[in-house]
């Protein structure tokens, strides 16, 4: 991959916002680029972090395998997002695993180099604080949802959130931009694939969504937002 293209990928990330061009050059110097296939594990829960990863392209799923063998998905990351950043900054074992959900381009620095760069360019640390804060907020919001809302509401919220992140305009509506099974949705929402299937089918009959194998198109965003917020 050519260097200019890498620069384009990197500047998507909030991590390097407000960085002067020479600083950005310096950051680019130390950066490695690699492409990984869908379903590749980037790291496992419990591993020690060795590199700071910025997702250049593709989708990464961050998840935990929980007692009882039930997996729970914490994040679906898109281009520009940091992968496993908290563990790198805190120098602790990863609290979750990360899997390339689609084919991905990863930009990375060694953990040591990343920390040096943060020393040298304080703006990076400021950006990191902002980014981690945003993630904490999102987690807090989802925790509140999970604690108080029903499955149908949570499915609506999940689809709206995913569509907002990586949705692409479809013929009539917004389509999640990558293949997503009922099981995948269930792991995000905290339920099982049967429940997801029933809810989606029901919505499809009412014209709120269009469904297919590994595919969901949001046809009526407003009604879905009503369901997400008022439960009806």
Provide the binding-site residues for its own copies, judged by CB under 8 A.
Answer: 64, 66-68, 70, 72, 74, 86, 89-90, 95-96, 122, 125-126, 128-130, 132-137, 139-149, 189-190, 229-231
Examine residue 6 and tell whether it contacts DNA (CB under 7 A).
no
Contact 75, 141 (CB under 8 A): no
When CB distances are held under 5 to 8 angstroms depending on the partner's kind, the choice from its own copies, DNA, none that residue 159 binds is none
Minimal distance in Å, beta carbon 37 to its own copies? 26
When CB distances are held under 5 to 8 angstroms depending on the partner's kind, the choice from DNA, its own copies, none that residue 133 binds is its own copies
Minimal distance in Å, beta carbon 143 to its own copies? 5
Of 174 and 216, the one with the shorter C-beta distance to DNA is 216
Minimal distance in Å, beta carbon 213 to DNA? 5
What backbone torsions phi and psi does residue 211 show, to the nearest 5 degrees?
-120, 160
Contact 16, 124 (CB under 8 A): yes
**Distance between CA 226 and CA 203 in Å, rounded?**
13
| Binding track, positions 174-203, relative to DNA; x by CB under 7 A | -------xxx------xxxxxx-xx-xx--
Of 34 and 198, the one with the shorter C-beta distance to DNA is 198
When CB distances are held under 5 to 8 angstroms depending on the partner's kind, the choice from its own copies, DNA, none that residue 129 binds is its own copies
Minimal distance in Å, beta carbon 73 to DNA? 14
Cα 110 versus chain centre, distance: 21
Minimal distance in Å, beta carbon 115 to its own copies? 10
Interacting residues with DNA (CB under 7 A): 150-152, 181-183, 190-195, 197-198, 200-201, 204, 211-215
């Amino acid at each position: 991959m050519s260097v200019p293209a890498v620069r384009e990928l990197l500047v998507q990330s909030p991590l390097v916002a407000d960085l002067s061009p020479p600083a950005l050059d310096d950051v680019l110097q130390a950066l490695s680029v690699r492409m990984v296939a869908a379903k590749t594990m980037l790291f496992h829960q419990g591993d020690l972090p060795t590199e700071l990863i910025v997702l250049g392209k593709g989708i990464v799923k961050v998840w935990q395998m929980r007692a009882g063998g039930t997996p729970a998905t914490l994040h679906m990351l898109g281009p520009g997002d940091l992968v496993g950043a908290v563990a790198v900054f805190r120098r602790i074992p990863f609290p979750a695993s990360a899997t390339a959900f689609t084919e991905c381009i990863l930009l990375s620095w060694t953990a040591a180099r990343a920390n040096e760069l943060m020393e040298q360019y304080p703006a990076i640390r400021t950006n990191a604080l902002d980014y981690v804060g945003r993630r904490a907020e999102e987690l807090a919001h989802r925790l509140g949802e999970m604690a108080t809302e029903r499955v149908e509401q949570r499915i609506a919220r999940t689809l709206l959130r995913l569509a907002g992140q990586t949705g692409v305009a479809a013929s009539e509506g917004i389509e999640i931009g990558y293949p997503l099974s009922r099981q995948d949705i269930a792991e995000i929402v905290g339920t099982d694939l049967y429940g997801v299937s029933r809810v989606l089918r029901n919505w499809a009959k009412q014209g709120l969504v269009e469904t297919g194998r590994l595919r969901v198109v949001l046809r009526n965003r407003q009604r879905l937002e009503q369901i997400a917020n008022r439960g009806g």
